[in-house]
Amino acid sequence: MNNESFRISHSVPDQGVLLPNSPDYFLPASTNVYQLLKQLQIVLPEKVDRAIEIGLKSTAWSKDFISLKDIPNFSAQFEPWTGAIKLPKLAESSPLQSFFSLAGRASVWGQNLMDRGARYYLVTDPALGGVETKLSVLRKDMADALAIVVSVDRQDLTPDCLPYYLGVLDYLKQDTLALYHVMIQPEKEGQIDNLPADWDKLKGESFQLARQFTRMYYQACLGRHYDTHVSVAATTNTIDQIKSYIQTNLNSVSNFKLPEIDHPLKIMLSASRAVSKNQEVDTILALPRGSTQVGIAIQLGYELLQGFSPELIMVPLSIYSHRTQNQGVPIADQFVHYIQRFNLADRVILLVDDNSHTARTLKVVIDAEKQVGNDDNAVAIVEVDPIRVISRFDSGKNLDQIANFLHSDILDTAVGVLPILHHKSARYNTSELRKILARKVLEQGPPELIQPISP
First-to-final CA distance of the chain: 50
DSSP symbols for 374-409: ---EEEEEEEE-HHHHHHHHHTT---SEEE-TTSHH
Torsional sign, CA 340, 346, 350, 355: positive
What pLDDT, on a 0 to 100 scale, did the predictor assign at position 259? 79
95-140 confidence digits (pLDDT tens): 899 999 998 899 888 788 999 988 998 898 887 889 999 999 999 9
Is the pLDDT confidence value at 79 over 90? no
Percent of the chain with pLDDT over 90: 40
74 contact partners, CB below 8 Å, separation of at least 6: 49, 68
Give the count of beta carbons closer than 10 Å to the beta carbon of residue 47: 14
Instruction: Report yes or no: 217 and 264 within 8 Å, Cβ to Cβ.
Output: yes
Pairing mode of beta strands 7-9, 41-43: antiparallel
Is the pLDDT confidence value at 169 over 80? yes
| Distance, CA of 25 to CA of 47 (rounded, Å) | 29
Instruction: Report yes or no: 297 and 380 within 8 Å, Cβ to Cβ.
Output: no
Torsional sign, CA 130, 133, 135, 138: negative
Helix pair 162-183, 232-249: axis angle to 10 deg: 40
Looking at residue 4, the DSSP 8-state letter turns out to be T
Looking at residue 417, the DSSP 8-state letter turns out to be B
Tell me the longest C-alpha to C-alpha distance in the chain: 65
Pairing mode of beta strands 26-28, 107-109: unpaired
What pLDDT, on a 0 to 100 scale, did the predictor assign at position 143? 97
What pLDDT, on a 0 to 100 scale, did the predictor assign at position 385? 76
Is the pLDDT confidence value at 326 over 60? no
pTM of the model: 0.86
Residues of the chain with CATH 3.40.50.2020: 1-67+261-422
Q: Which neighbouring-strand residues pair with 428?
A: 421
Give the count of beta carbons closer than 10 Å to the beta carbon of residue 139: 18
- 3-state helix/strand/coil string of 204-239: HHHHHHHHHHHHHHHHHHHCCCCCCCCCHHHHHHHH
What's the CATH number for 1-67+261-422?
A: 3.40.50.2020
Instruction: Report yes or no: 23 and 8 within 8 Å, Cβ to Cβ.
Output: no
For residue 278, which amino acid is it? N
